[in-house]
């Protein structure tokens, strides 16, 4: 019994000692892990986000250590993300700012913002957002209120803002504003700005050029229009509309080109338009166009076709000139020319037009007819004209022309012998005058008229001989009546008169 008690006593002592040893081990283990946890917390607080706790057990302490390690990893990831966002914010090409919605005060700005506006870092913090907005059509306050209204209604705003730098320089930005709930400042406006000043200037230049081009198109001295595949007007400039007397609303999309031309011109259009759509161009087609007041306008039309990538006709690019006045003048000139030619031909005179500088000569049909030629048989040149002249007349003609070219005579006049096709010579009275001079005051063009005076010259010669004959007969008759005149004296008188009448060097041959 006593032995049993002693055994139990020793067993109890062993159990107590064992429990103390185990307890001491557990306490040291817990203390060690708690110490590791405390050390890790201190290191993370110091910025070492790579700190981790060694997991020594799967109990609650081990679970706490594992949770801590997970939290440390998540914190590191978030820090990396925030660092990345910070780098992006600092290196953005756009200027970014945060404005407190409650009072409109700027609370943050990235480096690009300061660069854009010319402020030192932190200089705009605490300033009202209107300090960076320029006055234009609206005051800075009106611009801000317009943005706030859009933010309240839609939660964002996007548009152009006329900004001003610290030094007063004004510039334009494209701005996007959105709202964000900040843990410290409450509702804030996040504004992202892109400087569009150069783009704006370029747009203004392009706009000005576009306006000038549009003005040139609309008010050009010629008409412009475009018609589709069916001939319906798609475009027409103001010049053509004014010529025709229509408004744009009356024509575009409603009228066809064929509606505005005469029946005769319609034939020209119906023949040429299909060819134009296929070929892609047409030049100088004449149309009689009907104005709104039903008067007729003669137009000269040229066009090129606009086609799509598949080669299908889209519309025309047409140019139109009002040649009504030109055609009327041309018709008047034609009529006058016909009358002049008729008058000249009726008066049996040949007209000529000599380009002194080139040597070309334009001759009327009667000019060549006077010399027995058809118009196509003679070369139209001054060398040909000179070749037909009598050799004895060329020198005189050249002298008279030179005097006229020097301004010594008002006009050129000369009686010239021209060789007829039959070999005989015709007497021609040539009259002309220089009517155009070169810049160097040299004769350029001389026009004139040739008149055949051969019959007049023959009549004059006949009358001259008749007078000579009568004079000779009178002298011979008078000699016969004088008693003192012997036969020898009378024979000498007759011989002298015979020489005059016959132009012979022998006269009359008389015997003894």
Examine the fold and report which residue of 51, 72, 87 is the final residue of a domain before the chain moves on.
87
pTM, full prediction: 0.47
- pLDDT band at residue 10 using 50, 70 and 90 as cut-offs: very low
What CATH code is carried by the domain that includes residue 106?
3.30.450.20
Residue 248 lies in domain: 219-322
Same domain, 142 and 190: yes
Same domain, 299 and 393: no
The least confident of 219-233, 279-293, 389-403, 459-473 is 459-473
Same domain, 98 and 83: no
Same domain, 196 and 97: yes
Selected residue with higher pLDDT from 155 and 481: 155
Among residues 435, 427, 277, 429, which one has the least CA distance to residue 353?
435
Q: Is residue 214 part of a domain?
A: no
Examine the pLDDT at 3 and tell me if it is beyond 50: no
Q: Is residue 291 part of a domain?
A: yes
- pLDDT band at residue 33 using 50, 70 and 90 as cut-offs: low
Mean pLDDT of 238-251: 96
Same domain, 83 and 99: no
Same domain, 360 and 313: no
Examine the pLDDT at 57 and tell me if it is beyond 50: yes
Structure tokens at 478: 């008078």
Phi, then psi, of 186 in degrees rounded to 5 = 75, -140
pLDDT number for residue 335? 74
- Cβ-in-10-Å burial (0-12, 13-18, 19+) of 122 comes to exposed
Same domain, 434 and 482: no
pLDDT number for residue 19? 52
Q: DSSP letter at 168?
A: S
Q: How far apart are CA 59 and CA 53, in angstroms?
A: 14
- pLDDT band at residue 458 using 50, 70 and 90 as cut-offs: confident
Handedness of CA 237, 240, 246, 252 (dihedral sign): negative
Q: Where do we find the tokens 């004088």?
A: 482
- pLDDT band at residue 481 using 50, 70 and 90 as cut-offs: low
Examine the pLDDT at 504 and tell me if it is beyond 50: no
Q: Is residue 149 part of a domain?
A: yes
- Percent of the chain residues topping a pLDDT of 90: 54
Residue 372, CA atoms < 13 Å, CB-side half-sphere: 10
Among residues 162, 170, 166, which one has the least CA distance to residue 119?
166
Q: Is residue 299 part of a domain?
A: yes
Mean pLDDT of 226-237: 96
Same domain, 104 and 189: yes
Per-chain mean pLDDT for the chain: 82
Residue 85, CA atoms < 13 Å, CB-side half-sphere: 7
Contact 161, 143 (CB under 8 A): yes
Mean pLDDT of 160-172: 94
Examine the pLDDT at 25 and tell me if it is beyond 50: no
Examine the pLDDT at 317 and tell me if it is beyond 90: yes
Q: Is residue 507 part of a domain?
A: no
Selected residue with higher pLDDT from 499 and 101: 101
Examine the fold and report which residue of 278, 307, 322 is the final residue of a domain before the chain moves on.
322
- pLDDT band at residue 457 using 50, 70 and 90 as cut-offs: confident
Identify the three-state secondary structure at position 189.
Answer: strand
pLDDT number for residue 330? 82
- pLDDT band at residue 32 using 50, 70 and 90 as cut-offs: low
The least confident of 20-24, 172-176, 294-298 is 20-24
Q: Is residue 377 part of a domain?
A: yes
Same domain, 427 and 352: yes
Same domain, 107 and 81: no
pLDDT number for residue 22? 47
**Number of structural domains, the chain?**
5
Q: Is residue 334 part of a domain?
A: no
Among residues 118, 115, 116, 96, which one has the least CA distance to residue 106?
96
Same domain, 108 and 38: no
Mean pLDDT of 86-103: 77
Examine the fold and report which residue of 87, 116, 135 is the final residue of a domain before the chain moves on.
87
Highest mean pLDDT out of 74-83, 203-212, 399-408: 399-408
The least confident of 92-96, 125-129, 282-286 is 92-96
pLDDT tens-digit series, residues 380-400 = 999 999 999 999 999 999 999
Burial letters 356-389, b for 16+ CB under 10 A, else e:
beeeebebbebbbbbbebeeeebebebeebeebb
pLDDT number for residue 512? 41
pLDDT number for residue 506? 41
Selected residue with higher pLDDT from 152 and 10: 152
pLDDT number for residue 328? 85
Among residues 186, 70, 189, which one has the least CA distance to residue 78?
70
Mean pLDDT of 493-506: 59
Q: Is residue 49 part of a domain?
A: yes
pLDDT number for residue 92? 61
Same domain, 414 and 445: yes
pLDDT number for residue 1? 43
């Amino acid at each position: 019994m006593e032995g049993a008690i002693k055994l139990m006593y020793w067993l109890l002592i062993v159990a107590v000692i064992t429990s103390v040893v185990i307890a001491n081990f557990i306490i040291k283990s817990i203390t060690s892990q708690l110490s590791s946890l405390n050390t890790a917390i201190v290191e993370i607080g110091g910025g070492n986000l790579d700190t981790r706790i060694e997991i020594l057990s799967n109990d609650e302490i081990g679970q706490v250590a594992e949770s801590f390690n997970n939290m440390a990893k998540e914190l590191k990831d978030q820090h990396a993300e925030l660092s990345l966002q910070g780098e992006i914010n600092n290196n953005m090409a756009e200027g970014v700012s945060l404005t407190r919605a409650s009072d409109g005060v700027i609370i943050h700005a990235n480096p690009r913002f300061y660069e854009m506006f010319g402020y030192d870092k932190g200089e705009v913090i605490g300033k009202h957002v209107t300090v960076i907005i320029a006055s234009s059509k609206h005051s800075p306050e009106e611009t801000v209120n317009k943005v706030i209204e859009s933010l309240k209604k839609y939660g964002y705003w996007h548009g152009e803002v006329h900004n001003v730098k610290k030094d007063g320089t004004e510039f334009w930005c494209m701005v996007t504003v959105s709202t964000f709930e900040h843990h410290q400042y409450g509702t804030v406006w996040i504004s992202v700005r892109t400087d569009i000043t150069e783009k704006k200037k370029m747009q203004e230049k392009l706009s000005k050029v576009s306006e000038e081009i549009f003005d040139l198109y609309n008010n050009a001295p010629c008409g412009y229009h475009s018609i589709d595949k069916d001939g319906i007007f798609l475009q027409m400039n103001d010049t053509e509309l004014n010529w025709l007397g229509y408004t744009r609303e009356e024509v575009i999309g409603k009228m066809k080109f064929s509606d505005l031309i005469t029946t005769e011109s319609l034939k020209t259009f119906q023949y040429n338009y299909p060819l134009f759509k296929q070929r892609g161009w047409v030049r100088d087609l004449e149309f009689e166009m009907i104005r709104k007041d039903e008067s007729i306008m003669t137009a000269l039309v040229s066009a090129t076709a606009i086609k799509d990538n598949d080669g299908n006709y889209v519309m025309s690019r047409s140019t139109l000139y009002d040649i009504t006045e030109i055609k009327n003048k041309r018709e008047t000139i034609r009529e006058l020319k016909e009358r002049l030619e008729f008058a000249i031909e009726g008066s049996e005179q040949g007209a000529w037009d000599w380009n002194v500088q080139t040597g070309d000569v334009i001759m009327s049909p009667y000019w060549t007819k006077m010399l027995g030629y058809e118009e196509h048989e003679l070369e139209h040149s001054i060398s040909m004209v000179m070749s037909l002249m009598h050799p004895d007349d060329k020198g005189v003609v050249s002298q008279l022309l030179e005097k006229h070219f020097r301004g010594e005579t008002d006009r050129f006049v000369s009686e010239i012998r021209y060789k007829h096709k039959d070999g005989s010579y015709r007497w021609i009275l040539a009259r002309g005058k220089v009517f155009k001079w070169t810049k160097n005051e040299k004769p350029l063009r001389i026009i004139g008229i040739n008149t055949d005076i051969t019959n007049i010259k023959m009549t004059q010669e006949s009358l001259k001989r008749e007078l000579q004959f009568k004079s000779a007969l009178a002298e011979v008759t008078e000699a016969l009546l004088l008693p003192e005149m012997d036969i020898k004296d009378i024979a000498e008188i007759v011989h002298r008169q015979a020489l005059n009448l016959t132009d012979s060097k022998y006269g009359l041959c008389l015997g003894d």
